């Protein structure tokens, strides 16, 4: 080979190297596979798979039953079930507001100390309420029905309401396969709670743009991946990388179903909100928990074991439930006390986190992220990509009317 041939070959090689280099430095949206590390792909895959698998709640024998859900739907929207006949579950859990109320703090019969959480996708939750004071959706529903500062109904009120309403009585009797004639007030109250839970379990969401992206990552489908906004992808990389958000907001639901202190003040009017610390005591003492006589769960139920073994520790003071981030754009305001009005404020909170506010004996996990404006916007773009629509609701009214004509 001549020297000039060699030089020409080297020059061609350099050109190819430059071209390949250019290809790898293309904007993010060009080929997302190129910009994702193996570790990032693994974590993204761990968030994939929506809707997540679901098993009916074994503590509620009508969980997943369509007729029970139809009765629950009727109860959910009926103000007559409350003490003053002026408040339904849907007063705070408004369908037009993604089953929240849009208020900073919930307004029951008086102003409550916490923000109203959504009931959308609640079928997958392990603990209910910001402090996890309930271990089932039916138990949580009973609290809202009967707490004096919420709907304020007594067992006798609820039982009388059900006995008066022939259609609901019929629906409950069929769903529970029992006669209501011998059921006492408390038994009827529990049936109402379980029917309400069956309805709320039916409110679930479709896959989001993130889910389509995650499925494409797993399949290695580059063209499907390219439909995901580049800004959202950059935000996702922050979320699973430097931000370490996915340490707690993990899995397809973007939550570990546990509790954390994230430096949100827990001082409320007239004292402190003890959060999970009080929640554990409340769930243990609750006669309507999964271990009580009203639970339909077997003694060896895996889910009930968690109620049995949950540990009350000093660090639980001021911890609150790690919420799912699915459709988080729809549930403002944020945090247990509704103190952050917008999602941008939430991102700002984690960016400039006041570490001195963290519980001294808590997890040494959170650090101020010190994000610049571009990174904050990318994180917001990612969170927006978790937005989806509701799965179309079954015809609850039609089913109830068919089984129990009014």
Partner 1 sequence: MVGQWRSTAAAWLVALAPQVFGCDPLDRTEHAARGKGVTVAYSWVSGPPAVGELATLRLRLCDISGAPAGGKLSVDAVMPAHGHGMNYTPPTVEVADEPVAVTGLLFHMPGRWQLRFKLRGDGVTRRAHADFLLAH
Q: Which of 98, 115, 133 is nearest to 204 (CA)?
A: 98
Size of the site for partner 1 (CB under 8 A): 25
Q: How many CB atoms lie within 10 A of CB 171?
A: 25
Among 6, 13, 227, 247, binds partner 1 (CB under 8 A): 247
Q: Are 381 and 56 in contact (CB under 8 A)?
A: no
Which of 157/319 has CB closer to partner 1?
319
User: What whole-number distance in Å separates Cα of residue 337 and Cα of residue 334?
Assistant: 7
| Binders of partner 1 in range 283-322 (CB under 8 A) | 302, 305-306, 308-311, 313, 315
Q: Decide: is 184 part of the binding site for partner 1 (CB under 8 A).
A: no
Among 98, 362, 369, 383, binds partner 1 (CB under 8 A): 362
Q: Which of 244, 220, 189 is nearest to 369 (CA)?
A: 244
Q: Decide: is 256 part of the binding site for partner 1 (CB under 8 A).
A: yes
Q: Decide: is 390 part of the binding site for partner 1 (CB under 8 A).
A: no
Q: Decide: is 34 part of the binding site for partner 1 (CB under 8 A).
A: no
Q: Specify the residue for token string 């003040």.
A: 265
Which of 116/136 has CB closer to partner 1?
136
Q: Decide: is 353 part of the binding site for partner 1 (CB under 8 A).
A: no
**Dihedral pair phi/psi, residue 103, rounded to 5°:** -90, 160
**Preceding amide of 51 cis, omega within 30:** yes
Mention every residue, 6+ apart, whose C-beta is less than 8 A from residue 131: 259, 273, 274, 275, 276, 277, 278, 279, 282, 320, 321
Q: Specify the residue for token string 């041939």.
A: 5
- The CB-of-276 to partner 1 minimum distance in angstroms stands at 8
- The CB-of-311 to partner 1 minimum distance in angstroms stands at 4
Which of 48/328 has CB closer to partner 1?
48
Among 187, 250, 268, 390, binds partner 1 (CB under 8 A): 250
In degrees, rounded to 5, the angle at the alpha carbon of residue 366 between the alpha carbons of residues 360 and 369 is 140
Among 169, 246, 286, 324, binds partner 1 (CB under 8 A): 246
Among 10, 18, 26, 365, binds partner 1 (CB under 8 A): 365
Q: Decide: is 13 part of the binding site for partner 1 (CB under 8 A).
A: no
Q: Decide: is 364 part of the binding site for partner 1 (CB under 8 A).
A: yes
**Dihedral pair phi/psi, residue 221, rounded to 5°:** -90, 95
Question: Which residues are at the interface with partner 1 (CB under 8 A)?
Answer: 42-43, 46, 246-248, 250-251, 256-259, 302, 305-306, 308-311, 313, 315, 362-365
């Amino acid at each position: 080979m001549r020297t000039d041939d060699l030089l020409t070959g080297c020059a061609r090689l350099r050109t190819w190297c430059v071209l390949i280099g250019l290809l790898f430095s293309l904007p993010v949206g060009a080929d997302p596979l190129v910009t994702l590390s193996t570790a990032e792909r693994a974590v993204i895959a761990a968030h994939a798979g929506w809707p997540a698998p679901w098993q009916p709640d074994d503590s509620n024998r009508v969980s997943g039953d369509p007729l029970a859900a139809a009765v629950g739907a009727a109860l959910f929207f009926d103000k007559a079930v409350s003490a003053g006949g002026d408040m339904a579950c849907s007063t705070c859990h408004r369908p037009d507001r993604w089953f929240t109320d849009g208020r900073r703090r919930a307004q029951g019969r008086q102003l409550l100390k916490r923000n109203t959480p959504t009931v959308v996708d609640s079928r997958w939750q392990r603990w209910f309420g910001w402090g996890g004071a309930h271990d089932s959706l039916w138990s949580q529903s009973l609290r809202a029905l009967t707490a004096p500062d919420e709907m304020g109904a007594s067992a006798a009120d609820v039982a009388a309401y059900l006995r008066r309403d022939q259609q609901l009585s019929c629906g409950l009797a069929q769903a529970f396969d029992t006669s209501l004639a011998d059921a006492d007030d408390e038994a009827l109250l529990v049936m109402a709670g379980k029917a309400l839970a069956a309805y709320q379990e039916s409110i679930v969401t479709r896959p989001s743009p993130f889910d389509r992206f995650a499925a494409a990552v797993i399949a290695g489908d580059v063209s499907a991946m390219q439909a995901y906004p580049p800004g959202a992808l950059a935000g996702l990389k922050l979320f699973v990388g430097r931000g370490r958000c996915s340490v707690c907001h993990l899995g397809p639901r973007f939550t570990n179903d546990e509790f954390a202190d994230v430096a949100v003040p827990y001082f409320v009017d007239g004292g402190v909100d003890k959060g999970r610390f009080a929640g554990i005591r409340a769930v243990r003492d609750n006669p309507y928990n999964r271990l009580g006589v009203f639970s339909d769960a077997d003694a060896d139920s895996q889910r009930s074991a968690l109620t049995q073994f949950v540990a009350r520790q000093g660090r639980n003071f001021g911890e609150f439930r790690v919420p799912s981030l699915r459709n988080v754009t729809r549930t403002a305001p944020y945090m247990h006390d509704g103190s952050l009005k917008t999602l941008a404020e939430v991102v700002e909170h984690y960016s400039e986190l006041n570490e001195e506010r963290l519980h001294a004996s808590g997890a040494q996990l959170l650090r101020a992220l010190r994000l610049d404006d571009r990174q904050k916007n990318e994180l917001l773009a990612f969170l927006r990509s978790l937005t989806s629509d509701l799965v179309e609701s079954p015809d609850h009214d039609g089913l109830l009317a068919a089984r129990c004509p009014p």
